[in-house]
């Protein structure tokens, strides 16, 4: 496993965000986050279907959960290159790969929007499979990013990723935000196309970006799953997890203690309606996207 620290991010704010305290929080809560997304991750990996001998790129690999699964599918004859801009998360991913004895998995700190994955000084062959679990929504210039990704794919290489549908269709995020607005000042809602979790909510935009990159056989499937918030574990655990994530987390740190306590109480009251067998379970809506690079496509 290797770590290339020569990352040149296209979006400095995103780089700072994912290399600071926020990233450390995600590492600390990695197991809860993985359990929350387990059903979505399984569906995406099943569609991606890594084959023995595949050379795979995992974009926005985070703490390496998808990377480890991809490496198992690719087998010893294959290889997974897992890329992320977060050195904090990559450190955790590399630790997990070492513990699992995965020799066919390497890590690179790189921005997939701009990094030249196929170049003379990095002698990778074209990727047979490019995968991402909620990692492609943060590009500052998604048009350039998907062109760069397509250029790194082998002829007939497959792209598979999962991304969120609209904010309003994801009550696990929308409900806490609606409640938070009663007690703290939240930042303005960003432009729908600005880098962030919901920037690819419009399936028409996804199709235009992928076709504009020269990809074919584009399929966009609705993926709706009930998610156990914070991976389950009861109301106290769920509240601690939810309050520390999302656009309200920074506002809570600056808010008077009374406002934070009232928000937590109101949120707990609302979440009681979603308790199933002690876990808080809420619906989600995502897109499961796949495409293929045609043999005739020239590199950008």
Q: Residue 32 maps to which CATH number?
A: 3.40.50.150
* Residue 178 within any structural domain of the chain: no
Residue 281: predicted pLDDT: 96
Q: CA-to-CA distance for 241 and 75, rounded, in angstroms?
A: 35
Task: Report how many domains make up the chain.
Answer: 1
Residue 25: predicted pLDDT: 81
Token pair for residue 145? 């990013």
- Asked whether 104 and 39 are in contact (CB, 8 A), the reply is no
For 69, phi then psi, to 5°, come to: -65, -40
Tens digit of each residue's pLDDT, the chain (300 residues): 444 544 555 556 777 776 777 778 888 999 999 999 999 999 999 999 999 999 999 999 999 999 999 999 999 999 999 999 999 999 999 999 999 999 999 999 999 999 988 876 655 679 999 999 999 999 999 999 999 999 999 999 999 999 999 999 999 999 999 999 988 888 777 788 899 999 999 999 999 999 999 999 999 999 999 999 999 888 999 999 998 888 888 888 887 888 888 989 999 999 999 999 889 999 999 999 999 999 887 665
Residue with tokens 């520390």: 244
Residue with tokens 């995406």: 44
Q: CA-to-CA distance for 248 and 180, rounded, in angstroms?
A: 7
Residue 203: give the domain boundaries: 12-168+191-226+285-292
* Residue 86 within any structural domain of the chain: yes
Contacts of 67 (CB under 8 A, 6+ apart): 58, 61, 80, 82, 93, 97, 105, 107
Length of the chain: 300
* Residue 185 within any structural domain of the chain: no
Element (H, E) at 184: none
Residue 120: predicted pLDDT: 67
* Residue 221 within any structural domain of the chain: yes
* Residue 38 within any structural domain of the chain: yes
**Strands 127-133 and 275-276: what pairing?**
unpaired
Residue 260: CB atoms within 10 A of its CB come to 19
CA dist list (Å): 87 to 20, 83, 84, 187, 251: 9, 10, 8, 27, 26
Residue 87: predicted pLDDT: 94
Residue 231: CB atoms within 10 A of its CB come to 20
Entry pTM: 0.92
* Residue 104 within any structural domain of the chain: yes
Q: Is 111 exposed, middle or buried (0-12, 13-18, 19+ CB in 10 A)?
A: buried
**Strands 105-109 and 118-119: what pairing?**
unpaired
* Chain-centroid distance, C-alpha 3: 20
Token pair for residue 159? 């792209």
* Residue 83 within any structural domain of the chain: yes
* Residue 297 within any structural domain of the chain: no
């Amino acid at each position: 496993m290797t770590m290339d620290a020569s990352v040149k991010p296209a979006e400095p704010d995103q780089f700072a965000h994912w290399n600071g305290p926020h990233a450390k929080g995600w590492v600390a809560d990695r197991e809860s986050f993985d359990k929350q997304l387990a059903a979505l991750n399984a569906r995406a990996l099943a569609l991606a279907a890594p084959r023995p001998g595949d050379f795979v790129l995992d974009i926005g690999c985070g703490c390496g959960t998808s990377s480890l699964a991809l490496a198992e599918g690719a087998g010893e004859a294959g290889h997974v290159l897992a890329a992320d801009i977060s050195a904090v998360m990559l450190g955790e991913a590399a630790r997990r790969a070492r513990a699992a004895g995965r020799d066919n998995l390497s890590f690179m700190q790189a921005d997939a929007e701009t990094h030249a994955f196929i170049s003379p000084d990095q002698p990778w062959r074209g990727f047979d499979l490019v995968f991402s679990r909620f990692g492609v929504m943060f590009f500052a210039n998604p048009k350039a990013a998907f062109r760069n990704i397509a250029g790194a794919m082998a002829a007939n290489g497959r792209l598979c990723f999962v991304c969120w549908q609209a904010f309003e269709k994801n009550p696990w995020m929308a409900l806490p935000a609606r409640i938070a607005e009663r007690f703290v000042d939240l930042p303005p809602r960003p432009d729908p196309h600005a880098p962030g979790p919901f920037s690819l909510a419009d399936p028409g935009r996804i199709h235009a970006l992928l076709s504009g990159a020269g990809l074919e056989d584009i399929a966009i499937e609705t993926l709706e799953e009930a998610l156990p918030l914070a991976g389950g574990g009861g109301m106290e655990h769920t509240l601690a997890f939810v309050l520390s994530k999302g656009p309200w987390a920074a506002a809570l740190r600056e808010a008077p203690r009374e406002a934070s306590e009232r928000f937590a109480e109101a949120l707990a009251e609302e979440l009681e309606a979603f308790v199933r067998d002690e876990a808080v379970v809420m619906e989600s809506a995502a897109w499961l996207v796949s495409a293929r690079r045609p043999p005739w496509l020239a590199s950008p």
